[in-house]
Structure 1
Amino acid sequence: MAAEEELKVEEGGGGKGKLIIVIAAVVVILGGAAAFFMMGGSDEPVPEEGAQELTLDEEPAAESAPASSGSKADMGTALYVAMPRPFVFNVPGASRDRLVQIKVQLLVRGAEREELAKKHIPLIEGGLLRVFSGANADDLATVAGKEALKVRALQTVQEELNTIVGQKVVENVLFTGFVMQ
């Protein structure tokens, strides 16, 4: 009989322990959710005191030039489209051939142009590979040679996308990684 009473007491205590664990789990989950919503906030920056807030359609008061249709404010925010894989190719050099790897991102303005650039990535990759493989290892060893390659790459991408889309989609070609062996 005493053994049965001990069993009943032990069964009752285990239920309270489980209840405490469940309550603690609920409190942790609710606390995490509350912290997520509290810290989520607005993505808009808070203007400093005395700072003039501008919208996309306005220009700063200090500038008196008329707004052109191609101004950066009209075009939208800067977005970066990464090429899905780095470009790896051989280039001839005076002493020996070199292996080059370039990681590229494209600067576009606005979500519409970002979608256009993403849609035409195979066309962009083809044009960039054609420009890159025509380079010379001796030129790529200098800063001026790398800048000239970026300019040629930008011109090629803009020309090819202009024939397909009918507008300037890419504003700049950025090398985010450059390795030459």
Structure 2
Amino acid sequence: MRVTSKAAQRGSGKLVLILLVVLVALLLAVGTAAALYLTGVISPLGNGGNNVEEVAEDESGEERPPAPARGPARYLEMEDAITVNISREDGRRAILQARLQVMSRDEEILDSVEEHMPLIRNNLINLFGDQQFEDITSSEGKNALREEALKEINSVLEEEGHWPHVEAVYFTNFVTQ
């Protein structure tokens, strides 16, 4: 009876080992699929199983590529800080200095931003220079300015014939005096 008991234990031990290996392989496969989906490498087939990208049209009827798929965020740092004089309510002058980074999920969009950086910087300098000190010292004021900067950058891209898919502008340094 002892021989049968040891054989049964060895057989059940092998079964447990096989089940553990299968379970680990299954968890790795599910984890890999989830990671690829969340990073945008793979996407759900939301158009009846046909994963063909549709072409969008802008206001003029010109065909444009669709917005980039949800992929990894890519950033472009504006090399120099933007420094401007701004007004205070009491009539005195103040200084605003801001460093920015632009975020998109499409490298071509960031290339377009870099190509038109002189015009973008000019427009941002004008935008920042029109601000009142008291309006931009709060979090809400800074966020509103960020949103205005985003609109301005996308506006420049659109005016220059590029598809405006800059998703966000971030202040990496923001100083007022």
Is TM > 0.5 for Structure 1 vs Structure 2? yes
Q: TM-score normalised to the size of structure 1?
A: 0.62
C-alpha distance in 2, partners of 1:106/1:77? 14
| 1:64-94 CA-partner distances (Å, limit 9, x unpaired) | xxx996566x264311111110011111012
Q: Which residue of 1 aligns with 2:176?
A: 180
Residue pairs, 1:18-29, within 5 angstroms: none
Counterpart selection for 2:76 from 81, 93, 99: 81
C-alpha distance in 2, partners of 1:75/1:110? 9
For residues 116 and 75 of structure 1, do their structure 2 counterparts lie closer, same or farther at Cα, with a shift above 3 Å needed?
farther
Q: Which residue of 1 aligns with 2:133?
A: 137
TM-fit CA distance, 1:60? 9.2
C-alpha distance in 2, partners of 1:81/1:122? 14
TM-fit CA distance, 1:113? 1.5
> Unaligned stretches of 5+ in structure 1?
1-47, 62-66
Q: Which residue of 2 aligns with 1:120?
A: 116
TM-fit CA distance, 1:57? 4.2
Q: Which residue of 1 aligns with 2:19?
A: none
C-alpha distance in 2, partners of 1:177/1:108? 19
Q: Which residue of 2 aligns with 1:164?
A: 160
Does the CA contact (< 8 Å) of 2:100 and 2:172 recur in 1? yes
Counterpart selection for 2:43 from 58, 67, 71: 58
C-alpha distance in 1, partners of 2:154/2:81? 20
Computing the radius of gyration from Cα coordinates, the structure with the larger value is 1
C-alpha distance in 2, partners of 1:103/1:142? 17
Identity percentage of aligned residues:
25
Q: Which amino acid aligns with 1:137?
A: F
TM-fit CA distance, 1:166? 3.4
> Unaligned stretches of 5+ in structure 2?
1-26, 55-65
For residues 71 and 120 of structure 1, do their structure 2 counterparts lie closer, same or farther at Cα, with a shift above 3 Å needed?
closer
| 1:97-124 CA-partner distances (Å, limit 9, x unpaired) | 2111100111122221121111111111
**Residue-pair matches, total:** 130
Q: TM-score normalised to the size of structure 2?
A: 0.64
Q: Which residue of 2 aligns with 1:97?
A: 93
Q: CA RMSD in A?
A: 2.7
TM-fit CA distance, 1:59? 2.8
For residues 71 and 168 of structure 1, do their structure 2 counterparts lie closer, same or farther at Cα, with a shift above 3 Å needed?
closer
TM-fit CA distance, 1:165? 2.4
C-alpha distance in 1, partners of 2:138/2:99? 18
For residues 126 and 169 of structure 1, do their structure 2 counterparts lie closer, same or farther at Cα, with a shift above 3 Å needed?
farther
